Amino acid sequence: MTMENNKKQCFICNQDRIPYLCVGCSKNFCIKDFVNHRIILNQELHHIIDDYKQFKERFNEERPNPHDISLINQIEQWKIDSIEKITQKAKECTEIVTKSSQTSYDNMVKKYDDLNEQIKQSQNEDEFNEINLNYFRNELKKMTEELNNPPDASIQQDSQPFISGISIVSLEKRLKFNEWKENAITVAGGNREGPALNQLKYPMGIFIDKNKNIFIADNFNDRIVEWKYDAKEGQIIAGTNKQGNRLNQLNFPTDVIVDQQNHSIIIADQRNRRVIQWLDQKQQVLIHNVDCFGLAMDKHGFLYVSDYKKNEVRRWKMGEYIEGVVVAGRNGNGNQLNQLNYPTFIFVDEDQSVYVSDTNNHRVMKWRQGATEGRIVAGGNGKGINLNQLSSPYGVIVDDLGQIYVAATGNDRITRWCEGKEAGEIVVGGNGQGSQSNQLTFPMGLSFDHEGNLYVGDYHNNRIQKFEIIL
């Protein structure tokens, strides 16, 4: 057998070389690229170790102290009110809460110590591959979710002749998702299309601040308007000089966000191909030559912009607007998991994962930080009206429970999707096109206020609808 017969194509350089097989990814490498591959794996392991250290620091900060739990206070108050007759019962319930809390903590410590030991052993023995790294990542994700969502409890009273007995009832038994009233309240516009201060013309992106003031990308009026809470008309805060490309003009703005740290307004000025900032009526172009559509800002102050022509989302550090970093897309127009087709509105969660309305693919994609491809979290089953489908999705937001809300523009409804589920559910709209209070026509922007009320930019009805949460 000749030496040539022993050669295989290297996964990296595509040259025929003596192969070195990586068991973790099942790919062949030449010796040079195999060494580099191991270096990359080693770097990933160090990143995971750093994440574990950060988790441990946070975990130690949140170590449970049963004496501070409100349930203990309720139990003690119940004991005082019932005096001697219920002292023993109070003691029993206190022990349940204390033991449960300590048990949860002990279990978490054991999980952490076991996995930490496995990581150290893998690092010391240099015996690890992609399979090990994926396992470590998934276990850390599970522990983080467990830490973020600790089991809750409440008091359940039992009627007795002269005292009420108590027991501990887990919150998990009564957890339910939010619901909203079927009929909305018009909180901006709704007076047909037009340029007057009580009118809108095809509103798109919306932003709700902590005072429930509504900032609207008033698309065809080439302006940004702010409607104060309960106001009868808005006020123009950007684009007061008709359509144009001067600094004090806008041309077809699609989205707006408020940087609440410096009270500036950041606008996707689409047809001027720029992202512009307005601060105290002074304008500054942040990003030039970008076919922008959606905007988002994470908790660290990074700015995210979707480019519907390059089919990508980029992230910029505030104050540094040179090239930015591609965080979603970058592989041309298409429907593969590493591609996008006309990305519009975006949302960034606490973990800096980017949710993208992949409009022409009729799906919503989630790209984790540093990922090379996304994951379908809504739609992805072709354009349609079924609950497992979307039709031209635009607005997208995610609540504190990780539930994804999508403005299915072609379906005239807002749907909620749980990540990993095959279908969504209608939360508002879905009653056909129309201008009634329970109808939407091409909904676009979405936002929540701090109370959980849902706001929808009702594009073709030239209004902003507020669906009040049912408490």
**Inside any domain, residue 415:** yes
pLDDT of residue 27: 83
The boundaries of the domain holding residue 302 are 180-470
pTM for this entry: 0.65
Give me the residues paired with residue 307 across strands.
292, 312
**Inside any domain, residue 255:** yes
**Inside any domain, residue 66:** no
**Inside any domain, residue 185:** yes
Q: Residue 410 belongs to a domain with what CATH number?
A: 2.120.10.30
pLDDT of residue 358: 97
pLDDT of residue 166: 65
Nearest to 458 by CA among 470, 439, 163, 469: 439
In order, the DSSP letters of 284-311 are EEEEES--EEEEEE-TT--EEEEETTTT
Strand, helix or coil at 115?
helix
Domain boundary among 12, 32, 61: 61
pLDDT of residue 10: 85
Give me the residues paired with residue 466 across strands.
185, 455
Residue 47 and residue 184 share a domain? no
Residue 55 and residue 186 share a domain? no
**Inside any domain, residue 251:** yes
Q: Per residue in 305-363, pLDDT tens?
A: 999 999 999 999 877 877 889 999 989 999 999 999 999 999 999 999 999 999 999 99
Q: Cα separation of 397 and 98, whole Å? A: 38
Q: Catalogue the long-range contacts made by 312-318 (C-beta closer than 8 Å, 24 or more residues apart).
A: 312/340, 312/343, 313/340, 313/343, 313/346, 313/354, 313/356, 313/367, 314/290, 316/286, 316/287, 318/259
Q: What is the mean pLDDT of each run of 10 residues along the chain (471 residues)?
A: 69 84 82 82 79 75 56 70 68 77 78 81 78 80 76 62 58 63 96 95 95 95 95 92 90 93 91 94 92 94 95 90 89 95 96 96 95 94 95 95 94 93 93 96 95 96 96 79
Domain boundary among 12, 39, 61: 61
Q: Catalogue the long-range contacts made by 230-234 (C-beta closer than 8 Å, 24 or more residues apart).
A: 232/198, 233/196, 233/197, 233/198, 234/188, 234/197, 234/198, 234/200
Strand, helix or coil at 200?
strand
Domain boundary among 42, 61, 80: 61
pLDDT of residue 67: 46
**Inside any domain, residue 134:** no
Q: State the DSSP code for 160.
A: -
Question: How open is the CA angle 218-224-228, to the nearest 5 degrees?
Answer: 100
pLDDT of residue 171: 43
What's the number of domains the chain is made of? 2
